[in-house]
Chain A
Amino acid sequence: MSLISTLARMEAVESGRAQPLATVRHRRLSGRPLVLVPLTTAGEAGAPLGALVGTDPEEPRLLVVAQPRDRDLRFAFLAELAEEVLPYIDSFADVVEAAERSEVDPETGKKVKVEVELCADAPQLIVPSRAGVEYLRLLGRSTRFRRTAEQDPETPFPAPPRVPLLGRWLTHFGDRARVPGSSLLLSATDLLNRHWATGQSSLEDQHLGALLAWIDPHDGEPGSEAALRAEVGRDSEGQLLCPPAGPATDPAFDNRLLAPAIERYDRARQAVGAAEDGEAAERGLGELHRAEREVRRLVASRMKPTWEAVWRAIGLLRELPEGARVEDRWTRDRWSFTAHRDRVTAGEPPQPRRDDAVTAARKLAAREQAQGQLEAQEALDDPLVLAGRRLSGEAFTAEVVEVTMAWTESKRPAPRPLLTVRTEDRPHLGEKVKVFRSLDGKPQSAEFVRYEEDGALLLRILDRMGRSKEPAEGSVPEKGERIAWTLFEHDQRVGPQLPEAEETPWTHGGPPRADAVELPDAVTPEDVL
């Protein structure tokens, strides 16, 4: 944590309210995000208990698994979830615009521009917490290798038709969420934590209810009190007033309410199975419906507060104006979405369990690059973020006090104007250190020449002044201008090229084997009641 954000947290402690960490919104918020609040069963991997899902805050779709250990009910849940999520994703897949991408021509080896489709907008999933992002990734892993009856008539427990596809999309969203600055899959806690500092630690900030208590308290109640109530407050039945944002449930809820309700459901199911005459069967069915309704009611009661909290968070973030360079990052998200759409359409197999060496190295390099780009863009978009970089000596704001024209000593002299600037900041400058400023959204670079006797800095502008001898209009700062300079580059340089996957060296396992087919997970009898 930087000193500036520590200070913001302390101001939050003193004032009892969260303090801003950003003056603009640094993530894209779609006009029509899909909010997904999942719950899972304690002690089981990938056994969902229920979910609220939808694009309309007023009308969430409620999905509940009355007996989470029953494979059929689990598949039914996943099929219903697919019916909510996939049409939403598809609605973005067909609206496209033309774009260009440079590709290497396999025959000539030259780079050529290729006309391709780019989806005009992309879907956006928002879950309550980081654990929710992890959970979607886990759901994706558990479903993408399932086989449907159509794919494999021999499979012992065929999955409903669209479930494996849901798994592939959830995997893609989960993977993309690991790219810094991407907005395809976001968590409400991360969104809020990026933009506000609360008077508690970052560990406590993972609790969505407590976080909102600091940022948006009711009736001006001090944040610490409201947050404490959200963390530990319980009603007369011993249930948390603010249920955990999931996917894990509160053990007290499991033990006191949910377990008896599921037991009743199991008993009713047994009674239906054991019914000997029509009347008994009808009675049993009635009881089964009541028992199922009770489980649904209970599970929904735990998810509803979280659903509302996520939409409250979205509302708070919409009040912030979007940062200027967010659009640029969203375009990358659209490319990512379009690429996966194309892979699905082309009938490619699901993402492998483990990436091969080249893919893994590419992903890591891309994430590293995205991290650098995100840090630079956020600082350029937001004076408050820039303040942090200025404090650490990585940027400075300076006033131009003098401009001296100068040229290179070559046959065709190019302009190299000298700027004398004055700053209160303390940048880490040495001879020939490059500094950058944003000129019409593009970086213009200069180099540090020396400190003047009165403490002013002398900079030499190096580029973006056009081809002629006289610099282009507006490309050289004027006297009196205040300009923010950064010591970091605005665009991260791309790392060294990696070989094609087929040319993976033996040190890294050699080329991936084409014949290695990903098998579906083995089925175990324990999954079935």
Chain B
Amino acid sequence: MSASQDSGLSRPPQTTRILAELRGPTVPPRPLDARALAALAANPGCRRRALLDGAGVDKSALAAKLGSPAPFGQSQFAIVRGNSFEAKVKADGGRELLRLIGVEEPGTVSVPDLAAAGPQGRVARTALALREATGADGWTLLDHPLLALEVAGSPVYLEPDAVVVRPDGGWTVVEIKSFPMVDGAADASKVGAAARQAAVYVLALERVAALTEGARVAQSVLLVCPKDFSNVPTASVVDVRKQRSVTRRQLARLTRIDEIAAALPEGVSFDVAERSPEELTAAVECVPHQYAPECLAACELAFHCRSRAREAGAVETLGRSVRGELGGLTTVGAVLAAARGEEGDPEDPAVAALRRARALRQEALESAAARTPREHVECPC
């Protein structure tokens, strides 16, 4: 079993102290939001992201201070619409939502109050409510419960939209999204992102279920979206077994944050309020990144990392797949030099392929240029 499953949430106090120092002692940690989860899935091998997310650093503020502010934002139109839709789904004491599951007459639906002080308190409150609901022999709707999951050796907090507890003790994650399901089909990439997000919630729930008698976490989640062009909710059951196992494997493979933190030089801090941009730049530079273009959609620091990767001439800036054909050549300069025959071993298949590619490309471009004067088959306009 993976480390993320077995070890408890208790983190060595030393690591907690180190991470708090990295974040800035007065700054509260940021919970892992949907974007951070997406970044985790998009680039599990990035140490920089792992450390900053694990320490709960506000990456948006950090990126702004580094001079490459994150381009993310949410339109208030979308927020208003999303909130009103979520309220509609959860209306009627949870009965509307149960109707979407297919339960017309749920009897009494219990909606426990999950408010508590601090994230730890809310997590404990959620666990208690889940335990009570599992033994209760009725339907329960947990509205915005808080769950904890260990990511790279440090707990992060997660807040699903809702969790439904069935009378038979089954727990189902509910994900409410405001993109439409037109004719029963929604945008595949958005559904994929929602499924990956929900899979993390399933993993976090399984930790609690392991300690709760009679509890069972459903491996399918309920995705609730507006139907067609209306505000009427419709739901679809999404099997997240695959996403769950992929995420679990990725989480297990993550370099432990305490190891990354231990490798940092003395005195490094990501305290956005206290440190100067130069100090922060130097601090960020201490942790290696693994930039790929996919980061642009998922990580606040992506523009910063991209500029560094471009300065270094890394071939990954052109796409992750590019590396595959280039063998040991990792920079644009080295590839071009090898293609021109200035560097590289001609016996190396990657170098030989590059030279052939360049020769064929040159030949084609020259033959096209030779077809002068260019006949202009222009349309009258």
- Nearest-neighbor residue (CB-CB) of B295 within chain A: A203
When the two chains form their complex, are residues B365 and A32 in contact, meaning their CB atoms are under 8 A apart? no
When the two chains form their complex, are residues B230 and A42 in contact, meaning their CB atoms are under 8 A apart? no
- Nearest-neighbor residue (CB-CB) of A7 within chain B: B357
Given A45-B182, A321-B374: A31 touches B381 (CB 8 Å cut-off) = yes
When the two chains form their complex, are residues B365 and A201 in contact, meaning their CB atoms are under 8 A apart? no
When the two chains form their complex, are residues A43 and B75 in contact, meaning their CB atoms are under 8 A apart? yes
Given A41-B77, A42-B77, A390-B360: A201 touches B379 (CB 8 Å cut-off) = no
Assembly CA distance A354 to B184 (angstroms): 10
Interface residue? B99 (CB, 8 A): no
- Nearest-neighbor residue (CB-CB) of A523 within chain B: B230
When the two chains form their complex, are residues B179 and A45 in contact, meaning their CB atoms are under 8 A apart? yes
Given A232-B303, A387-B360, A391-B360: A204 touches B293 (CB 8 Å cut-off) = yes
Interface residues of B in 226-273 (CB under 8 A from A): 226, 228-232
Interface residues of B in 337-381 (CB under 8 A from A): 339, 353-354, 356-358, 360-361, 363-365, 367-368, 374-381
Assembly CA distance A390 to B313 (angstroms): 29
Contacts of A14 in B (CB 8 A): 332-333, 336
Contacts of A141 in B (CB 8 A): 182-183
When the two chains form their complex, are residues A224 and B379 in contact, meaning their CB atoms are under 8 A apart? no
Chain A interface residue count: which class?
Answer: 35 or more
When the two chains form their complex, are residues A521 and B229 in contact, meaning their CB atoms are under 8 A apart? yes
Interface residue? A526 (CB, 8 A): yes
Contacts of A529 in B (CB 8 A): none
Looking at the assembled complex, report how far the CB atom of A281 sits from the nearest CB atom of chain B, in whole angstroms: 30
Assembly CA distance A3 to B367 (angstroms): 20
- Nearest-neighbor residue (CB-CB) of A12 within chain B: B318
Interface residue? B71 (CB, 8 A): yes
When the two chains form their complex, are residues B77 and A44 in contact, meaning their CB atoms are under 8 A apart? yes
Interface residue? B81 (CB, 8 A): yes
Assembly CA distance A6 to B363 (angstroms): 17
- Residue in B76, B183, B321, B333 whose beta carbon sits within 8 Å of that of A353 in the complex: B183
When the two chains form their complex, are residues B78 and A203 in contact, meaning their CB atoms are under 8 A apart? no
Contacts of A41 in B (CB 8 A): 77
Looking at the assembled complex, report how far the CB atom of A240 sits from the nearest CB atom of chain B, in whole angstroms: 9
- Residue in A10, A202, A254, A322 whose beta carbon sits within 8 Å of that of B377 in the complex: A322
When the two chains form their complex, are residues B231 and A524 in contact, meaning their CB atoms are under 8 A apart? yes
When the two chains form their complex, are residues B75 and A383 in contact, meaning their CB atoms are under 8 A apart? no
Assembly CA distance A138 to B356 (angstroms): 45
- Residue in A31, A232, A388 whose beta carbon sits within 8 Å of that of B380 in the complex: A31
- Residue in A224, A250, A259, A383 whose beta carbon sits within 8 Å of that of B368 in the complex: A383
Assembly CA distance A44 to B231 (angstroms): 9
Looking at the assembled complex, report how far the CB atom of B255 sits from the nearest CB atom of chain A, in whole angstroms: 26
When the two chains form their complex, are residues A1 and B319 in contact, meaning their CB atoms are under 8 A apart? yes
Interface residue? B317 (CB, 8 A): yes
Contacts of A42 in B (CB 8 A): 74-75, 77-78, 81
Interface residue? A20 (CB, 8 A): yes
Identify the interface centre among B226, B332, B364: most chain A CB within 10 Å of its CB. B364
Identify the interface centre among B74, B75, B358: most chain A CB within 10 Å of its CB. B75
Contacts of A11 in B (CB 8 A): 336
Interface residue? B69 (CB, 8 A): yes
Looking at the assembled complex, report how far the CB atom of B248 sits from the nearest CB atom of chain A, in whole angstroms: 27
When the two chains form their complex, are residues A3 and B336 in contact, meaning their CB atoms are under 8 A apart? no
Contacts of A255 in B (CB 8 A): 73, 75-76
Contacts of B336 in A (CB 8 A): 10-11, 14
Interface residues of B in 154-189 (CB under 8 A from A): 178-180, 182-183
- Residue in A4, A8, A254, A523 whose beta carbon sits within 8 Å of that of B75 in the complex: A254
- Nearest-neighbor residue (CB-CB) of B334 within chain A: A10
When the two chains form their complex, are residues A232 and B69 in contact, meaning their CB atoms are under 8 A apart? yes
Interface residue? B322 (CB, 8 A): yes
Assembly CA distance A254 to B77 (angstroms): 7
Looking at the assembled complex, report how far the CB atom of B270 sits from the nearest CB atom of chain A, in whole angstroms: 22
Interface residues of A in 310-348 (CB under 8 A from B): 318, 321-322
Interface residue? B138 (CB, 8 A): no
Interface residue? B296 (CB, 8 A): yes
Interface residue? A452 (CB, 8 A): no
When the two chains form their complex, are residues A45 and B226 in contact, meaning their CB atoms are under 8 A apart? yes
- Residue in B81, B294, B357, B367 whose beta carbon sits within 8 Å of that of A391 in the complex: B357
When the two chains form their complex, are residues B294 and A142 in contact, meaning their CB atoms are under 8 A apart? no
Interface residues of B in 166-218 (CB under 8 A from A): 178-180, 182-183
Interface residue? B113 (CB, 8 A): no
Interface residues of B in 257-302 (CB under 8 A from A): 293-294, 296-297
Contacts of B315 in A (CB 8 A): 10
When the two chains form their complex, are residues B354 and A7 in contact, meaning their CB atoms are under 8 A apart? yes
Residue-by-residue, is A383-394 near B (CB-CB < 8 Å gives 1, otherwise 0)? Answer: 110111011000
Interface residue? A252 (CB, 8 A): yes
When the two chains form their complex, are residues A383 and B364 in contact, meaning their CB atoms are under 8 A apart? yes
Interface residue? B82 (CB, 8 A): yes
When the two chains form their complex, are residues B317 and A6 in contact, meaning their CB atoms are under 8 A apart? no
Given A252-B73, A255-B76: A384 touches B379 (CB 8 Å cut-off) = no
Interface residue? B90 (CB, 8 A): no
- Nearest-neighbor residue (CB-CB) of A240 within chain B: B71
- Nearest-neighbor residue (CB-CB) of A23 within chain B: B368
When the two chains form their complex, are residues B322 and A526 in contact, meaning their CB atoms are under 8 A apart? no
Looking at the assembled complex, report how far the CB atom of B34 sits from the nearest CB atom of chain A, in whole angstroms: 16
Interface residue? A13 (CB, 8 A): yes
When the two chains form their complex, are residues A387 and B183 in contact, meaning their CB atoms are under 8 A apart? no
Identify the interface centre among B76, B82, B296, B361: most chain A CB within 10 Å of its CB. B361
Given A42-B77, A43-B75, A251-B75: A32 touches B364 (CB 8 Å cut-off) = no
When the two chains form their complex, are residues A387 and B363 in contact, meaning their CB atoms are under 8 A apart? yes
Interface residue? B335 (CB, 8 A): yes
Interface residue? A502 (CB, 8 A): no
Identify the interface centre among A9, A383, A386: most chain B CB within 10 Å of its CB. A383
- Residue in B81, B303, B376 whose beta carbon sits within 8 Å of that of A44 in the complex: B81
Looking at the assembled complex, report how far the CB atom of B168 sits from the nearest CB atom of chain A, in whole angstroms: 34
Identify the interface centre among A42, A232, A384, A390: most chain B CB within 10 Å of its CB. A42
Contacts of B77 in A (CB 8 A): 41-44, 254, 259
- Nearest-neighbor residue (CB-CB) of B358 within chain A: A7
Interface residue? A291 (CB, 8 A): no
Interface residue? B80 (CB, 8 A): yes
When the two chains form their complex, are residues B317 and A201 in contact, meaning their CB atoms are under 8 A apart? yes
5 contacts between A and B (CB under 8 A): A3-B354, A6-B326, A7-B354, A9-B322, A259-B76
By Cβ-Cβ distance, the 5 closest A-B pairs, closest first, are: A43-B78, A31-B379, A23-B368, A251-B73, A42-B75
New A-B pairs, 9, CB < 8 Å, besides A11-B336, A32-B381, A321-B375: A1-B321, A7-B335, A31-B380, A42-B78, A199-B318, A255-B73, A321-B377, A383-B368, A384-B364
Interface residues of A (CB under 8 A from B): 1, 3-4, 6-11, 13-14, 20, 23-24, 29-32, 41-46, 138, 141-142, 199-204, 224, 231-232, 249-252, 254-255, 259, 318, 321-322, 353-354, 382-384, 386-388, 390-391, 521-524, 526-527
